[in-house]
Structure 1
């Protein structure tokens, strides 16, 4: 009988949220994102949670996050530190933040 369970890599969830600060709010947004990064890295199932500054768009920050399972992401989104962050940063943002799910084209060690 064929194995119908998904591999560990296929179960992972990867996202790239993007945040753009209002002019003059860049430092406050950077600080809020740094706090979110520190807290979220401790959440169950967190594989990656790193904030990057976009070098081509000042005031724009890209978050690269990975979760072992969709359920881990759902639990993370219900954490107080995430809910508090979303509320706290609304006045700092030039536009609503976006979240793009992404999927690796190949697993580690495999050619594309």
Structure 2
């Protein structure tokens, strides 16, 4: 099973670069985690304050462990100061891999 996660973010005006930097700083340590297959941030070209992070994980257990890592806990605290509202998370599973 592959679990795809789409996390949505909206930066406070003027803090777009700070949000991008925070999300990009998560790429390397997340990809080093067991179970992380992909971790890529994207910016909405029409609204640069909006960004998404598309992740792929081998299991919900691997994702749950990710949420306990020091780098995730650090960025979660930073995001509190950068975002207009809390970020959203959607979990998607390919029905053919169940």
Q: What is the TM-score with the length of structure 2 in the denominator?
A: 0.91
Secondary structure in structure 2 of the residue aligned to 1:102: strand
Unaligned runs of 5+ in 1: 1-10, 108-112
Cα RMSD, aligned residues only = 1.3
Other-structure match for 1:20: 10
Which structure 1 residue ranges, 4+ long, deviate > 4 Å from structure 2? none
| 1:1-112 correspondence to structure 2 within 5 Å | 11-104=1-94, 106=96
Which protein, 1 or 2, shows the higher relative CO under an 8 Å CA cutoff with sep ≥ 6?
A: 2
TM-score by length of structure 1 reads: 0.80
Name stretches of at least 5 consecutive residues in structure 2 with no aligned partner.
Answer: none
The structure with the greater share of residues assigned to strand is 2
1:103 Cα deviation from its structure 2 partner? 2.6
Q: How many residues align?
A: 97
Asked if 2 retains the 8 angstrom alpha-carbon contact of 1:12 and 1:70, the reply is no
Distance 1:46 1:26 in 2: 26
Q: Which has the larger radius of gyration?
A: 1
